[in-house]
Structure formats: C-alpha cells, structure tokens
Amino acid sequence: MAVHPTAIIEKGSALHPTVEVGAYAYVGSRVKAGEECVIMHHATVDGNTTLGRRNRVHPYAYVGGLTQDLKYNGGDPALVIGDENDFREFVTVHCGTTDEIPTRIGSHNHFLSYVHIAHDCQVGSHIVMSNNATLGGHVVVDDYAIIGGFTPVHQFVHIGSYVMVAGGSVLVKDLPPFMMAHGNHAALVGINKVGMERNGFAQEDIEEAFRAFKIFRKPHTFEHLPEYLSADLKKDGKVLKILLDYIGTLKPGTMRGLVTGER
C-alpha cells in the first residue's frame, strides 16, 4: 500500500495492497477496501463500511458515518459500496440504522461536492448527484438518475431510472422513470429525452416515454395507473416494462404519491 506517514489506519481494517491513503486521512477499524481504491488526504472512511474496487474518496469526504436517525439503538449497521464511485469533497455517506438494512450504493456513480446520502438509502449505479444534493433517509434511487445541485429529496421517496431532477428543486414525491421534474415542490415538466438518447433508447422508446408523461400529468388513482399505461403503451415495449416494474416496487405504507403536473 502507498500510505502517507501521517495517515491513521486503525488496527482491524482490511485494505487491499493496492489501496492508496493520503496525508492525514483516517481509516476506521471495520473498514474493508478493495483493489486500487484511493482515499485522499484529509478524507475519512469509518464505520462498518465495505468499498469495492477503484473507489475514490476525495479530500474532506466522510464515508461511513454513524446514522443520524434517532431510532438508532446500537449494533453495527453497515454501508456497502460497489466499484468505481467518486465521492468528491465534503460528501457525507451514513451507515444504516439497524443491522438488518445497510445503506447500499452501486457502481460508477459520481457524487459531487457536499452531497449527502443518509441512512438506509438504496442507491443504484451510473447516477450523478450534483453539488449539495441531499437524500433523506430510506430514499431509493434507481440506475442512471441525475439529481441537480441544491436539491433535497424527502425521506422514503423512490426515484426511478433515467430521470432528471433540475437543480434547486424540492422532491417530496416518488418520481417515475424517464421523467424530468423541476420546482418547489417538484412537478413533471417533460421527459429526460437527452438521457434516454445517451443510454441507447430508440426514438420509438422516447415517444413511448412521452405518452407515459402525459398520463402521469393527469390526476389518477394510483391503483389504476398500470391499467392506463398498459392501454396506451406498446405491450411488449421496454418503456412499459420499466414503468410497471417501478410501480410494482412502490410500497403503499411509505409511498408519498407520484410527482404529477401539479405542485
């Protein structure tokens, strides 16, 4: 390992021999870090935290902090992180609240400066969170989502895949896949056409997403949404499958309602 002499690595940590640790960095006793991870100067990785391969923790980031949830009652809650994530300056990521549910982050994500990921969040892969975006506890973010800067996301919200949340928005409801939301409180303003194109969706898929957008803009009883979507979208289409899978994961006990055209 390339470890700066001023770094503190507590006994009990398990770091791959290719890990780099910079000046004045701190690594806690329960941390595990995989191949070619870089923990830069003045960064902290603590708690029951597992890092996959080639993660980069930038200066002054704090990964693996204790949950802020007042329901915390001891134990050894975890934080599990995949591969090739960037945690930029002053990012904070907290472990779960109980031993049963870890905070979990996938791979190939970019968390820009001052991003906060709270306890028990389940964050997918290929996600970008811009500066000062904040996830409250128990938030779910699906793959390829983009969350603009200075955007807080309320606890228990479920953000679908391929979405775009504009900077400076306040997201307090579940956001379906492919949609674009903006405002305080955030409302649907379109589909993430650019994001879909960048991720290989065909023009037919983009048109399907726009039809779904028009359905979500109207007030509907949640239970009937699958019926309306299935009636208007291509039966064997990729877009319909992703939307129905997303709706199927929403839990009525915690769901805050879907973002629509009304604030």
Residues carrying an active site annotation: 119-120, 137
What radius of gyration do the chain's Cα atoms show?
A: 20
Task: Pick the closest to residue 256 from 147, 134, 173 (CA basis).
Answer: 173
The residue assigned the tokens 């050894």 is 76
Q: Which amino acid is located at 162 in the chain? A: Y
Q: Which residues of 211-242 are buried (b: 16+ CB within 10 A; e: fewer)?
A: ebbebbbeeeeeeebeeebeeebeeeeebbeb
DSSP letter, residue 208: H
Give the list of residues 6+ apart from residue 139 with CB closer than 8 angstroms, or none: 118, 121, 122, 123, 153, 154, 155, 156, 157, 158, 159
Give the list of residues 6+ apart from residue 217 with CB closer than 8 angstroms, or none: 188, 260, 261
CB count within 10 Å of CB 14 equals 12
Where does residue 258 fall: left (phi above 0), alpha (psi -120 to 50 degrees), or beta otherwise?
beta
| C-beta of residue 91 within 8 angstroms of C-beta of residue 72 | no
